[in-house]
């Protein structure tokens, strides 16, 4: 099996992803208008919000492929699940970092129990547990089944967590940009381009991680050691 | 059928040894004692912390109970034998869940006087409201707890994995139970906090369904 970047279409994907990401950065700095009351701090939203959308996209991949793995028992679905979980959790961590960076100058404190940020934190913790059960859950076959189940449970839990933390802290000010659709076109277009850029990054990272996951799995099964990992 | 067999088996085991119930109650009493000492500087504020303290204690107690309930199954590979039996796995899940629910509720009811006595809580003023919260919350804890314990406790590092996996998943439950208890202690009528009960019920409904399906797939040998 070839390495990931030896495959032509992956090289093309990497090229497009990198170009779009750089153009995106340039647009955010040079083209996007400066929002008067927030100045430069507002620009982190072009990273923060697409990261959030893509985190949930990645976790959706985890739940769906996890379900497919439980039903079919085909290890290829498990490599998808693992890739989605790792990329999603990395993105979740970036949300948890970019959120406070924005909040520090705007709200005057780094952490507020804003419902969506809180939900991300809880999800992040759940997925740390996900990796732990994968790692320490016993034989490979069993631990990946458990991980698939935890991934599904976590995604089912998202709306419940969001509801609970929203009702729990109703006084916490929500994002100033509740409705992206009601933003002026100059901001909305930059946001949509950034969203596109991050979807490309998500797809590229998941494909890459999945490829590595499959190579790892093959190596394990060739050594006949899949049951001892 | 399998449901009742598992339920009765678990309860009979517990009635004969009483080890889970005894450890859970003594543990709860110990934690309450620690809280009373730790927060002794501000007895007046204790009332506002009380709902949180009650539910944190009950969450820890629940983990202790799950460790016993499934730890027992691991002895002499009883659990593997149970899974070899030609039974519906969903029924095994529901049976374990129901037995754990009864155990948890019993442990809480026995340890409730400690809360009332040591933390000076007027819980008896609204017994039905608090009983309602207790029952629904325990159902929700039992559903997710049984599902997670059924997985983690068969792993080598199970005892440590269980709370790590369980507590973040149960965040909505902790919030809802704490807020509802707070409302009851503040003497609010049911209409003002019934949405927390709805959230608890939804949580229970969703995870009892999900659990019944998922348990089937994760319980392979």
Report d(CA A119, CA A166) in Å as an integer: 9
Q: Three-state DSSP class for A32?
A: coil
List the 192-221 stretch of A: residues with Cβ below 8 A of B: none
Task: Determine the longest span between alpha carbons in chain A, in angstroms.
Answer: 62
Q: Quick check: A150 and B151 CB within 8 A?
A: yes
pLDDT mean across residues, chain B? 88
Chain B contact set for A81 (CB, 8 A): none
Report d(CA B92, CA B5) in Å as an integer: 9
Q: Is A179's pLDDT higher than 70?
A: no
Phi/psi zone of residue B76: left (φ > 0), alpha (ψ -120 to 50 degrees), beta? left
Q: Which residues contact A132 (CB under 8 A, 6 or more apart)?
A: B157, B161, B164, B165
What pLDDT score does B221 carry? 57
Give me the interface pTM, i.e. the ipTM: 0.89
Chain B contact set for A153 (CB, 8 A): 144, 147-148, 169, 207, 210, 214
- Tokens 């040894």, residue located: B17
Measure in Å the smallest separation between the Cα of A49 and chain B Cα atoms.
Answer: 23
What pLDDT score does A171 carry? 67
Q: Which residues contact A31 (CB under 8 A, 6 or more apart)?
A: A190
What pLDDT score does B216 carry? 87
pLDDT digits (tens, 9 = 90+) for B170-216: 999 999 999 999 999 888 888 888 899 999 999 999 999 999 999 88
Name the residue among A122, A136, A156 with its Cβ closest to that of B157.
A136
Q: Band of the pLDDT at A103, cuts 50, 70, 90?
A: confident
| CA distances (Å), origin A31, targets A23, A38, A188, B118 | 11, 16, 12, 64
pTM for the whole thing? 0.90
| CA distances (Å), origin B42, targets A229, B31, B46 | 52, 18, 6
A125 at the B interface (CB within 8 A)?
Answer: yes
Chain B contact set for A168 (CB, 8 A): 175, 179
Q: Three-state DSSP class for A178?
A: coil
What pLDDT score does B36 carry? 80
Chain B contact set for A145 (CB, 8 A): 217-218, 220
| Distance from the Cα of residue B14 to its chain's centroid | 16
Among residues B155, B128, B5, B31, the alpha carbon closest in space to that of A144 is found at B155
Measure in Å the smallest separation between the Cα of A122 and chain B Cα atoms.
Answer: 6
Per cent of chain A over pLDDT 90 is 54
Report d(CA B131, CA B113) in Å as an integer: 14
Q: Quick check: A167 and B165 CB within 8 A?
A: no
Tens place of pLDDT per residue across chain B (221 aa): 788 988 998 899 888 988 889 999 999 999 988 888 887 766 677 778 888 889 999 999 999 999 988 888 877 778 888 888 888 888 989 999 999 999 999 999 999 988 888 777 887 778 889 999 999 999 999 999 999 998 888 877 778 899 999 999 999 999 999 999 999 988 888 888 889 999 999 999 999 999 999 988 887 75
What pLDDT score does B65 carry? 92
């Amino acid at each position: 099996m070839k390495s990931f970047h030896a495959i032509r279409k992956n090289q093309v994907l990497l090229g497009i992803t990198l170009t779009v990401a750089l153009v995106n950065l340039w647009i955010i700095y040079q083209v996007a208008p400066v929002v008067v009351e927030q100045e430069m701090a507002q620009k982190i939203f072009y990273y923060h919000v697409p990261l959030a959308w893509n985190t949930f996209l990645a976790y959706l991949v985890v739940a769906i492929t996890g379900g497919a793995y439980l039903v079919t028992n085909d290890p290829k679905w498990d490599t998808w699940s693992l890739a989605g979980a790792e990329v999603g959790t990395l993105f979740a961590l970036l949300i948890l970092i970019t959120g406070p960076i924005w909040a520090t100058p705007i709200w005057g404190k780094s952490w507020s129990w804003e419902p969506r940020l809180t939900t991300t934190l809880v999800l992040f913790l759940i997925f740390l547990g996900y990796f732990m059960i994968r790692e320490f859950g016993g034989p490979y076959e069993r631990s990946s089944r458990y991980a698939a189940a935890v991934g599904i449970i976590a995604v089912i839990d998202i709306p419940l967590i969001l509801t609970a933390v929203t009702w729990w802290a109703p006084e916490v000010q929500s994002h100033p940009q509740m409705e992206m659709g009601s933003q002026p076109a100059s901001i909305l277009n930059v946001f949509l381009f950034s969203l596109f850029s991050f979807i490309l990054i998500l797809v590229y990272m998941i494909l890459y991680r999945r490829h590595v996951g499959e190579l790892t799995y093959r190596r394990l099964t060739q050594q006949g050691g899949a049951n001892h990992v | 059928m399998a449901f009742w067999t598992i339920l009765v088996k678990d309860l009979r085991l517990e009635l004969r040894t009483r080890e889970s119930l005894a450890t859970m109650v003594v543990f709860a009493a110990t934690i309450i004692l620690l809280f009373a000492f730790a927060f002794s500087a501000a007895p007046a504020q204790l009332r506002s912390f009380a709902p949180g303290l009650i539910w944190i204690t009950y969450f820890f107690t629940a983990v202790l109970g799950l460790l016993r309930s499934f730890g027992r199954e691991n002895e002499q590979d009883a659990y593997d034998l149970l899974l070899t039996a030609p039974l519906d796995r969903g029924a095994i899940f529901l049976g374990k869940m129901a037995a754990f629910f009864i155990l948890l509720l019993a442990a809480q009811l026995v340890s409730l006087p400690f809360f009332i006595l040591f933390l000076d809580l007027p819980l008896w003023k609204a017994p039905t409201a608090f009983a309602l919260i207790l029952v629904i919350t325990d159902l929700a804890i039992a559903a997710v707890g049984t599902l997670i314990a059924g997985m983690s406790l068969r792993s080598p590092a199970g005892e440590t994995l269980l709370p790590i996996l369980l507590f973040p998943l149960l965040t909505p439950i902790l919030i809802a139970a704490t807020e509802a208890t707070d409302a009851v202690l503040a003497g609010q009528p049911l209409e003002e906090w019934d949405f927390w009960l709805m959230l608890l019920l939804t949580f229970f409904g969703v995870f009892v369904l999900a659990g019944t399906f998922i348990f089937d797939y994760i319980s392979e040998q």
